[in-house]
Amino acid sequence: MERADIVIVGTGHGGAQAAIALRQNGFAGSIAMIGRDSEPPYERPPLSKEYLAGEKPFERICIRPPQFWADKDIALRLRTAVVAVDAAAHEIVLSDESRVGYGQLIWAAGGDPRRLSCPGADLAGVHSVRTRADVDRMVAELDGGARRAVVVGGGYIGLEAAAVLRKLGCEVTLVEALPRVLARVAGEELSRFYEGEHRAHGVDIRLEAAVDRIEGDGERVTGVGLGSGEVIPADLVVVGIGIVPSVGPLIAAGAAGANGVDVDEFCRTSLDDIYAIGDCAAHANPYADGAVIRLESVQNANDMATTAAKSICGNPQPYKAVPWFWSNQYDLRLQTVGLSIDHDETVLRGDPAERKFSIVYLKEGRVIALDCVNATKDYAQGRKLVEAGTKPEREALADPEISLKALV
């Protein structure tokens, strides 16, 4: 039976960074990375942006050159799923029924795209955006003449895909079940701004619209049926409605967790010698007032990976990283720092009409997050306000002539 001192399940940002951080922190034992993807580790955010648009070839989104992993003596086993964990025996079971032993296990499996549950959801032409293969299939259909696109979901993935599809000349309709886009991650001001931008670029946005069915010709999608009875013609459908954490084998093995798998401040699960990091790891976050949450971001995956690696290498340091996110749509760069969960007030800094502004989120007077649109200086300086939990004067916050650095 194969065995490695450290087995990492998942080859995305978290898994790759865990392997890198282990070597950087002096770990000299054997490391094996196991993942379902067919490619060595690569960046996921560009998939719905530059890679879909054809602006970046695959080689430019690789986390490291393919030879790097061999040079660092990190074994890669691709196209392989982990179907079970035997925590007592310190073994994992693979999809081919073989077993791999581990000294310590880092679970970085991320999540699977949430699928539509309506009739027709499995028709050809219905896509998720999670892997290179997903986007390559979309690109092939676009190259084959697909021009009528329906995007289901008004989160970042959906909006980014809509922006790229418009740029590629597609007729785009975006369907969102909630009353506004970005409803789960941002305040109403930012939502309305992005709705206006997308409409100005020709995207037909349908809010409070439920997808009832996907229509097809028996094989391929031909339209998206709404609860209202309307059918939107479609050659291609992009579904961006979140992910389902990939933690089934861990939960079945006895790990604590509900929405993902629970980890402590060192990214340890309730099972001995098993860590979990990234999208699937539920943790008490200090920037959410200690609420147990999952964060789906590259920042979280990378920082948790480093936390786990340092703990394994005998230098435990609790995870306290400030959350941050970004999104590129058209010529707009959105940068977010902090978590706006449960904010009770917002302050607008700058003018959205000028397409350069920030929204500052407050809770009981303290700054908990900022959304910065084409305002990189606010983003960089606002981070200090979030870290310090500063309670600045509203008038000063709202004045773009006053540096945020002066308010710390």
How far is it between the farthest Cα atoms of the chain?
66
Q: How confident is residue 408, by pLDDT bands cut at 50, 70 and 90?
A: confident
Q: pTM here?
A: 0.94
- 3-state DSSP assignment of residue 12: coil
The CATH architecture to which 115-239 belongs is 3-Layer(bba) Sandwich (3.50)
Give the pLDDT band of residue 288 (cuts 50, 70, 90): very high
Q: At what angle do helices 13-24 and 298-312 cross, to 10 degrees?
A: 40
Please give the average per-residue pLDDT across 48-55, as a whole number.
Answer: 95
Q: Using alpha carbons, select from 191, 187, 136 the residue that is nearest to residue 158.
A: 191
Confidence of residue 1 (pLDDT cuts 50, 70, 90): confident
One DSSP character per residue, 78-110 reads: -S--EEEEETTTTEEEETTS-EEEEEEEEE---
Residue 226 CA to its chain's centroid (Å): 27
Distance CA 130, CA 281 (A): 18
- pLDDT band for 232, please (50, 70, 90 cuts): very high
C-alpha distances in angstroms, 134 versus 115, 258, 279? 13, 28, 19
Task: In whole angstroms, give the CA distance from residue 142 to residue 377.
Answer: 38
Mean pLDDT of 388-401: 94
Distance, in Å, from the CA atom of 166 to the CA atom of 329, rounded to the nearest integer, reads 11
Q: Shortest CA distance to 357 belongs to which of 117, 196, 215?
A: 196
Mean pLDDT of 283-299: 95
Average of per-residue pLDDT across 282-305: 95
Do residues 305 and 294 touch, judged by C-beta distance below 8 A? no
Report the pLDDT value the prediction gives residue 385, as an integer from 0 to 100: 96
* Model pLDDT, residue 134: 96
Convert the pLDDT of each residue in 321-354 to its tens digit.
Answer: 999 999 999 999 999 999 998 999 999 999 999 9
Would 3-112+243-313 and 115-239 be classified into the same CATH topology? yes
CATH of domain 3-112+243-313: 3.50.50.60
* Domain locations in the chain as residue ranges: 3-112+243-313, 115-239, 331-406
Check residue 205 and give its pLDDT: 98
pLDDT, mean of residues 269-283? 98
Q: Which residues contact 218 (CB under 8 A, 6 or more apart)?
A: none
pLDDT digits (tens, 9 = 90+) for 57-111: 999 999 999 999 999 999 999 999 999 999 999 999 999 999 999 999 999 999 9
Range list of H helices, 168-318: 188-200, 248-252, 298-312
The string of DSSP codes covering 22-67 is HHHTT--S-EEEE-SSSSS-B-SGGGGTHHHHTSS-GGGGBSS-HH
Domain 331-406 has CATH 1.25.40.10: no
Total residues belonging to the chain: 408
